[in-house]
Amino acid sequence: MLSILLSLLSFFGYIGFLAFKDSQRDQRLALVLSEINKKQMLGISIKQRFVNAVQEDSSTMSKYVIRCEHVEVVLNEYEQMLIEMSKLEQDIADNLGSGEKWQKVRKMTDVYKRIFDIDVENAKLVRKEVELAKELRGLSLINQQELYKTKIMSIKESETQLVGQEKQMMRDAIATGVQVPEEWKKLATD
């Protein structure tokens, strides 16, 4: 998400954002984009740790439980970052103009918002998965497998569907000429 918002920063520079710095709205937008730029490295690190934790080996039930413990620690940070980025994203939306010169920017921010919403929804699903995985610890292997099959697998399937939706949105954005980060181009073709 942070790399996406950083792309907004470069895009605003591209369209001559600084030429409009005299208005209050544009000054506020510049401050928000500056704040996003400051958080970029931390956010990228948190997102990468989250993805790595989710992808940890979970080939056995005990490895899966341990994986979920690791995921929860990183998920706490990731959710906090998503909350902070949501506030900044709202600031951007509140400060964009509505005239023709902002049309391309608004189209791009709308796409980014939909992608961000999927990230938030995915984090909620991972939180549910982690909470259910805590229940596995005290169960027999047969009961663990039953809980995994009846509840956790459907959550994991929903997570996979969200990833597919996100990739499709990226492909659609690219196809319609929306300026997107290079990472999107790679992810959209995976």
Residue 167 lies in a domain: yes
Q: How many domains does the chain have?
A: 1
Q: How much is the pLDDT for 136?
A: 95
Task: Judge whether 21 lies within some domain.
Answer: yes
Average pLDDT over residues 123-147: 95
Residue 22 lies in a domain: yes
In a domain, 125, yes or no: yes
31 within domain boundaries: yes
State residue 4's pLDDT score.
53
pLDDT in tens, 43-77: 778 878 888 898 888 899 999 999 999 999 999 99
- The confidence score (pLDDT) of residue 22 equals 45
Q: Which of 7-21, 117-131, 160-174 is modeled with the greatest confidence?
A: 117-131
Tokens read off for 99: 């005239």
**HEC secondary structure over the chain:** CHHHHHHHHHHHHHCCHHHHCCCHHHHHHHHHHHHHHHHHHHHHHHHHHHHHHHCCCCCCHHHHHHHHHHHHHHHHHHHHHHHHHHHHHHHHHHHCCCCHHHHHHHHHHHHHHHHHHHHHHHHHHHHHHHHHHHHHCCCCHHHHHHHHHHHHHHHHHHHHHHHHHHHHHHHHHHHCCCCCCHHHHHHHHC
Residue 166 lies in domain: 2-185
Q: Is-above-0.85 flag for pTM?
A: no
Please check whether residue 19 lies inside any domain of the structure: yes
In a domain, 190, yes or no: no
